[in-house]
Structure 1
Amino acid sequence: MFELKPFAETEFTKIIKVESQVYVTAKDEVILEFFLSGPTRHLHFPPQHEGADSVRRDELWKTTCLEAFFAFDNNSDSPYLEVNCSPNGDWNAYAFNSYRQGMRADGTASVNLIHRSLESDQAVFRVRIQSPAMPQFKQLGITAVIEFSDGSKSYFALSHPGPQADFHNKAAFTYSL
């Protein structure tokens, strides 16, 4: 289990803990589990869809969003994949040519929220990510934007190597696949 660290400490980050687990389940598939521990009444989640399937959407990071960044290497000038999954199942995947450059929808990756559990003291989300490029990815950054009940947001990652919260910084892609 890996603890994701908040970029800045707040009253909410003192009582909410974010952890993740990585499962490589096939050559083209990774499952990420996100555990949010603490009083979940302080967390804000996008509304569940009623009778509708999840959809591919932009700007999921504007509220609670579970994210992963896959890279072939740590070179800032090389391509990488960003995956976003909302706790309501909406998702997106973006390919980048290099650090924050050439962003486009990745048409080969699929993202599915395959488990959601919400209790008073813990929320658990399991996200399946499939991509034909998965066997070539060597580094993974695990991140989460967490919105709290007062509308504030915190940015959680395995590490925060720069002076600002920057999930695209490959120095934070610290999990080796």
Structure 2
Amino acid sequence: MLELKPFAETAFTKLFKLESQVYVTSPDEVILEFFLLGPTRHLHFPPQREDAEGTVPRRDELWKTTCLEAFFSFDQNADSPYLEVNCSPNGDWNAYSFISYRQGMKADGTASVSLSHRSLESDQAVFRVKIQSPALRQFKKLGITAVIEFSDGSKSYYALSHPGTQADFHNKAAFSYSL
């Protein structure tokens, strides 16, 4: 298990542990499991919704509330391209490609993301996110992150590491998991 750490400790982050597991199931598919361990009554999740055909659409700005994220890159060089994947616990998702650190952001049309499992209990929440893209074949580094919104509206930013003075999921020094 990989432990994600909050950027700043708060009364709520002291109640929770966030862990992740990575499964590379094929050259163009990665499954990430997120385990939020603690009293889930203190968590805020966006409401479930589907479009008219019963599919879950791509949505922007998912990071404004609880959001599970992954960042894929060739390396930890700030000037190299990378892929950002966002998945809400309600199944909404999006994927963006960047040409370098926070530059050239555009929706990535090759990626497909799905929340393939969701389990909520009083003492844990488990989410399995399936990410598919031919671009994954070229990436070697992974950053695993999450924005967690609590019942009082406060948010915490979790990552494998926080190398900067601010929470910055795009900082490639935190892309520390080798695929």
Please, what TM-score do these two structures have when normalized by structure 2? 0.97
Q: Quick check: 126-135 or 51-60, which moved more?
A: 51-60
Give 1:21's aligned residue: 21
Please state whether the residue corresponding to 1:14 is helix, strand or coil. helix
Residue 50 of structure 1 deviates from its aligned partner by 6.0
In the aligned structure 2, how far is the partner of 1:135 from the partner of 1:60? 25
Give 1:44's aligned residue: 44
CA contact (8 A) 2:21 2:34 kept: yes
Q: Which runs of 5+ in 2 are unaligned?
A: none
Please state whether the residue corresponding to 2:14 is helix, strand or coil. coil
Give 2:150's aligned residue: 148
In the aligned structure 1, how far is the partner of 2:45 from the partner of 2:128? 15
Give 1:137's aligned residue: 139
Q: Which runs of 4+ in 1 moved over 3 A?
A: none
Q: Deviations over 1:51-103 (max 9, x none)?
A: 84211000000000000000011110010000000000000000000000000
Please state whether the residue corresponding to 1:49 is helix, strand or coil. coil
Provide closer, same or farther for how the CA distance between residues 148 and 75 of structure 1 changes in structure 2, counting only shifts above 3 A: same
Q: Which runs of 5+ in 1 are unaligned?
A: none
In the aligned structure 2, how far is the partner of 1:154 from the partner of 1:100? 21
Give 1:170's aligned residue: 172
In the aligned structure 2, how far is the partner of 1:103 from the partner of 1:57? 15
In the alignment, is residue 3 of structure 1 matched against residue 3 of structure 2? yes
Q: Quick check: 147-156 or 42-51, which moved more?
A: 42-51
Please state whether the residue corresponding to 1:75 is helix, strand or coil. coil
Map 1:119-134 onto structure 2 (within 5 A): 119-134=121-136
In the aligned structure 2, how far is the partner of 1:162 from the partner of 1:50? 37
- How many residues align structurally? 177
2:76 corresponds, among 68, 74, 91, to 74
Please, what TM-score do these two structures have when normalized by structure 1? 0.98
Q: Quick check: 49-58 or 141-150, which moved more?
A: 49-58
Please state whether the residue corresponding to 1:133 is helix, strand or coil. helix
Q: Deviations over 1:121-177 (max 9, x none)?
A: 000000000010111100000000000000000000000000000000000000000
CA contact (8 A) 2:50 2:56 kept: no
In the aligned structure 1, how far is the partner of 2:48 from the partner of 2:18? 21
In the aligned structure 2, how far is the partner of 1:77 from the partner of 1:176? 19
State percent identity of aligned pairs. 84
Please state whether the residue corresponding to 1:44 is helix, strand or coil. coil
Give 1:115's aligned residue: 117
In the aligned structure 2, how far is the partner of 1:77 from the partner of 1:39? 40
